Structure 1
Amino acid sequence: MNLELLAKVCKTPGAPGFEQKVRELVVNEVTPLVDEIEVDNMGNVYAIKRGKQRKSAMVGAHMDEIGFIVTHIDDKGFIRFHTLGGFDPKTLTAQRVIIHGKEEVVGVMASKPIHVMTPEERNKNPKITDYFIDTGLSKNEVDALIEVGDSITREREFIEMGNCVNSKSLDNRLAVFILIETLRNLKDKEVPYDVYGVFTVQEEVGIRGANVSTLKVNPDFGFGLDTTIAFDLPGAAEHEKITRLGEGTAIKVMDAMTICDYRMVAYMKEIANKHNIKWQPEILTAGGTDTAGIQRMTAGGSIAGAISIPTRHLHQVIEMANKDDIKGSIDLLTASLLNLDQYDWDFK
């Protein structure tokens, strides 16, 4: 596994609406692997490999990561912000972030010290509005480098922990990496249908890029590619775990925004079993992914499903995934795209 590439993909900044640096990385990586590259007005990247027949399969992997945006700089140079995507506020205390202004500026998420909190304040859950960013710079220094509207991302290194990887932004840079590696696997192979590997924007704020890119592609088949909850942790009841690290790639059955096409679910199970790819089912009763847009934002809909990568600590400062699950996701997506014309897609 090319962990050097995965680390690079994870560390490259790209908050929703500010994906330009990760987009540049993606275009550089996939251009030698496919027949055509397009970038639309929103910034979605289309990596297109032509097939034998004029049907199409779209794979959506969003490039954006949860982040923040500068909303105010006070008279002392402290920075207020708004979230871009969902955060658990309690995970932000004393964490470093990077503000992408005229230069990259490191700051720390600061809040009222516990020593001066009232008993009521100590016992309540923190809110996003309790935090501000301290850069250690004066007001004049901040104003010279940062302005309202600049994006902010988390500052964390990519490391290995046992057979796992641990980093910021595994959601959804794991899927970006998996789609790149799948296109690499397909480079010298003949695919039955046109494959559109679409690296989408602004998923974390409402699957916006997937919606417009699906309208452009109008796919017959669709694959969402995203992380999912692995709550295989102490205190979790069996029914709460969703998926488990090391138990294989996950085949989505449903989430709060999509009921996957039962034909696609059955097809991916069949492909996984045939190729000895370890898998587990995923039913997520909250949240959604690009799969919703890929399934619905085309005339008549597409036959859509999703491959999900089990991930612990989602939407926190760091996230964790198992390397075998990542490889299994690459293998399942590759095999699924190569065999689409070998399955009976009629309703039964």
Structure 2
Amino acid sequence: MNLERLAAVATTPGAPGYEKPIRDLILGSVTDWCDSVRVDNIGNVICHVKGKNSDEPSMAAAHMDEIGFIVKSIDERGFIRFAPLGGFDPKALTAQRVIVHAKGGDLMGTMGGKPIHIMKPDERGKALDITDFFIDLGLPGEQVNELVEIGDPITRWSPLVEVGDCVNCKSLDNRASVFVLLETLREIAEEKIELSNDFYAVFTVQEEVGLRGVLASSLEIQPKFGIGLDTTIAFDGPGSSPDTKVTSLGDGTAIKIMDSSVICDPRMIRYMKAQADAAKIKWQPEVLTAGGTDTAGMQRNTPGGAIVGAISIPTRNIHLSTEMSHKEDLRASIDLLKLVVANFDQGDWAI
């Protein structure tokens, strides 16, 4: 597994609406692996690989945006207040390093708040709110106001490290899936795999704020078959139960049954299970009662609807700066996606 590529993908900035850095990294990789590559008006990267059947195209979507923030105000001392871009648990912001992507260059900062030593007893027991935090750039107020503008995006800082059999970093949601889709394109090209159907690999924008990119790309591509690629909850540690864990690290890639935004097509679920079992790819079922993915956008924003499923990467600590995925689960996700997009002619698609 190319951990250097995974690290680059995971750590390159790309908050919702401000995906240019990660988009540029993707564009620098995919040209040699596809028949055509383009960027649409909203910023999705659309890669086309020709297959034998161009009348029933397939599409896989991996969102390239990461949860982040946007500068909301700057006071005279240079402290920055911010608004979230995507869903945050405020307690996860404590003592985090962030990068403000200002017009003059990137600026490292830290999340600050009121020290516990001077909190009143009632404050210590109160749940944190995002308004309790500010960003400290360690610079004089005048300099901050010269360098930073209202509306500048902010992302978290967290390098990728190996922890046992796993990788650990911020934004594995959803850069793990971006990596899986990149590696799938590379291996299809290098192994000269013949695809049954035209395939569109789409790196979408603004998923974390409402599946916005996939809606635009699905409407244009109009896939018959859609595969969502995203992370999913692995609550498999202390305090978990079979009912709450959703998935477990190291138990293989996950085949989605449903989440709060989509009920996957039973035909696609059967097809994906059959492909995995035939190739002895380790997999586990995923039923997620909260959270949504680009899968829903492909299913509902294609005229007449698309036959959709999703490959999910089990991940601990989702939306924290210490997200963790198992290397073997990543490998299994690549292996399954390759088979799924190559062999749609082997599925039973009768309704």
TM-score range, shorter chain: over 0.9
1:57 maps to 2:58: yes
Q: Which runs of 5+ in 1 are unaligned?
A: none
User: Aligned equivalents of 2:83 and 2:317: distance in 1?
Assistant: 21
Share of identical aligned residues, percent? 58
Which residue does 1:183 correspond to in 2? 185
User: Aligned equivalents of 2:68 and 2:324: distance in 1?
Assistant: 18
Aligned length: 347
Alignment of 1:235-254 (within 5 A): 235-254=239-258
- Provide the secondary structure at the position in 1 that maps to 2:270: helix
User: Aligned equivalents of 1:91 and 1:286: distance in 2?
Assistant: 19
**Partner residue of 2:302 out of 261, 286, 298:** 298
How far residue 220 of structure 1 moved from its aligned partner, in angstroms, is 0.5
Which residue does 1:84 correspond to in 2? 85
Amino acid across the alignment from 1:7: A
User: Aligned equivalents of 1:344 and 1:287: distance in 2?
Assistant: 29
Which residue does 2:94 correspond to in 1? 93
How far residue 70 of structure 1 moved from its aligned partner, in angstroms, is 0.1
1:11 maps to 2:15: no
- Provide the secondary structure at the position in 1 that maps to 2:232: strand
Alignment of 1:89-168 (within 5 A): 89-101=90-102, 102-168=104-170
Which residue does 1:66 correspond to in 2? 67
Preserved contact between residue 88 and residue 319 of structure 2 (Cα < 8 Å): yes
How far residue 100 of structure 1 moved from its aligned partner, in angstroms, is 0.2
Q: Which runs of 5+ in 2 are unaligned?
A: none
User: Aligned equivalents of 2:2 and 2:51: distance in 1?
Assistant: 27
Normalising by structure 1, we get a TM-score of 0.99
Which residue does 2:47 correspond to in 1? 47
Q: RMSD value over aligned CA atoms?
A: 0.6
Cα displacement string for residues 120-162 of structure 1 (whole angstroms, at most 9, x for unaligned residues): 1100111101000011101111012111000000011100011
Give every structure 1 segment of 4 or more consecutive aligned residues whose post-TM-superposition deviation is greater than 3 Å: none
How far residue 272 of structure 1 moved from its aligned partner, in angstroms, is 0.5
Which residue does 2:199 correspond to in 1? 195
- Provide the secondary structure at the position in 1 that maps to 2:273: helix
Normalising by structure 2, we get a TM-score of 0.98
Which residue does 1:211 correspond to in 2? 215
Which residue does 2:25 correspond to in 1? 25
Preserved contact between residue 52 and residue 197 of structure 2 (Cα < 8 Å): yes
How far residue 91 of structure 1 moved from its aligned partner, in angstroms, is 1.3
- Provide the secondary structure at the position in 2 that maps to 1:239: coil
Alignment of 1:219-298 (within 5 A): 219-298=223-302
How far residue 236 of structure 1 moved from its aligned partner, in angstroms, is 1.2
